[in-house]
Amino acid sequence: MKRPPSLNLQQNLVKALALGVFSALVGFTPLHGAEPSPGAGYALAKGSNEFGLWAGGSPDSVGNIEDRQLLLVALRYGRVLAAWESVSLQYTLDIFPAAVVFEPDHFRSGSSTIYGAGLSPFGFKLNFLPQSWIQPFIDASVGFLYFQRDIPVPDSSRFNFTPEAGLGVQFFLAPNYALTHGYKFHHISNASISQNNPGMNSHVIYAGFSFLTP
C-alpha cells in the first residue's frame, strides 16, 4: 500500500532531525590528527558527575506496530559508581521534556502528532578504555513516558514503560567535555495495565553533548 504524502513528510522530518543532530556533532568531533595529548587525563574517576543533553529519532517502527516515527529529547545526569583500569560503571538518569510519536493521518481522528514527556530513572552505562579520549560504551535503562493520547494505538494507554538498550562512543574534546554518538533499541509498552498492549519498537540514532565535574 502506498503511504500518504503526510506520512512520508513526517518520516523525512524525523530523519532530518536525527541525522542533522548526528552530522552536526560529527563535524565537531576531533579527527585522529587532532588527538589530544596523552597526558590530558580522560579517566572517569569514581564519584564524577556528568550533565548533558541528547536528542535523536527513529524514522520508522518495527515489529507489531509499523509506520510510527519517534523523536526524543533528553537531559542526562550520570554518576560514576566504580572505575577500573579498563572499564568504568556509571549510573544514569534521563529526563525527557519532549517525546513525540508521529503516526499515519488515516489511523484515527485528530492530530497525527502525539506529544509526551517522562523519565528514565534506572540506567547504567559501561565505558570502555576509560584512559582514552575515545571511549566506546554500552548502556541500558528503564523508565516511563506519558502521552497526551493513547500510544501506540487507541484504547491502549497514555502511560507506557520504556526499556531500552544500546551502544555508542564518547569523544572527549577535553578532560571534562565530551560528544556522544549512539544507538538505542527503544521499546514502548504499557506492560498490560491496559487490555490492549501491542508495544512499539524503534531503532533510535542520537547524539549529544556533556560535561563532567568531580
The per-residue b/e assignment along 167-200, b for 16 or more CB within 10 angstroms, e otherwise, is ebbbbbbeeeebbbbbebbbbbbbeeeeeebebb
- If pLDDT is split at 50, 70 and 90, which confidence band does 109 have? low
For 10-50, write each residue's pLDDT tens digit: 445 444 454 554 454 444 444 443 444 443 467 788 999 99
**106 and 122 in contact (C-beta within 8 Å)?**
no
Q: Which residues pair with 121 in a beta bridge?
A: none
Mean pLDDT comparison of 3-12, 99-108, 184-193, highest-scoring range = 184-193
The percentage of the chain sitting over the pLDDT mark of 90, rounded to a whole number, equals 61
Highest mean pLDDT among 41-45, 132-136, 138-142: 138-142
Q: What is the DSSP string of 137-168?
A: EEEEEEEEEEEEEEESSTTSEEEEE--EEEEE
Confirm if 57 and 69 have CB atoms less than 8 A apart. Answer: yes
Residue 84: is its pLDDT beyond 60?
yes
Half-sphere exposure of residue 41: CA atoms within 13 angstroms, side-chain side = 3
pLDDT tens digits for range 154-207: 889 999 999 999 999 999 998 899 999 999 999 999 998 988 888 999 999 999
Residue 30 pLDDT = 46
Among 125, 126, 71, which Cα is nearest to 96's? 71
